[in-house]
Amino acid sequence: MRYGRNSAAAVALAAVTAVAVAGCGGGGGGKKADDKPSSGPGRSASASATADAGATPSASPTTVLAQLKGERDMVITITSAVRDSGGFVTVEGTIDNEGSNSFDATYWNGPEVALQKSGASVAGAVLVDEAGKKRYYVLRDTDGRCLCTMGLVGIRPKETRPFFAQFPAPPQATTEVEFDLPTMPPAKITISDAKG
């Protein structure tokens, strides 16, 4: 009988322990399932990437140097203009079609015949140094094509495309220039030096 009681006590103790462990695991696990699904091994990277992705776009509006709103509800947002040690300035940003029709940037390549090879592009962009009374045109490769974004055709309504254009760098003392693009209003932008 004693062995029976001991066995029964051991079974009862094991059952209580199992319920207690399950209760702790279930209660805490329920909260952890709600609070930490992203901290599990398979989801931490994606959650971190989502958090980073969420942080990056919120930071990008603060880096807007200028915004040009022009023909057919096209909007150009300039987010950087960086002077490189190689002697050129790279302007980057986005092109947004806020209109209701597709857009081809055929007039943005400018009137210069040599740049027609660049097709629908931002080849007609110019940096104007008003203080130094100089204009800086988009650089070209050996084939006469611009060092800029080309193929800007069929930009759909509500579509955003990135763009860049490279120019000869103004003197080091020149930090403010005007960005001009055919059919768009001019905008003042600030040139910064490349980091590192």
Judge whether residue 33 has pLDDT over 60: no
Judge whether residue 108 has pLDDT over 80: yes
> What would the mean pLDDT of 44-51 be, rounded to a whole number?
34
CATH number of 62-193: 2.60.40
User: 188 with 176: CB under 8 angstroms?
Assistant: yes
166-186 residues labelled b (16+ CB within 10 A) or e (exposed): bbebbeeebeebebbbbebee
pLDDT band for 90, please (50, 70, 90 cuts).
very high
Q: Which of 83-92, 113-122, 162-171, 175-184 has the lowest mean pLDDT?
A: 113-122
Closest CA to 179 of 194, 158, 157, 164: 164
pLDDT band for 62, please (50, 70, 90 cuts).
low
Domain boundaries, the chain: 2-59, 62-193
Provide the mean pLDDT of the chain: 77
pLDDT band for 196, please (50, 70, 90 cuts).
low
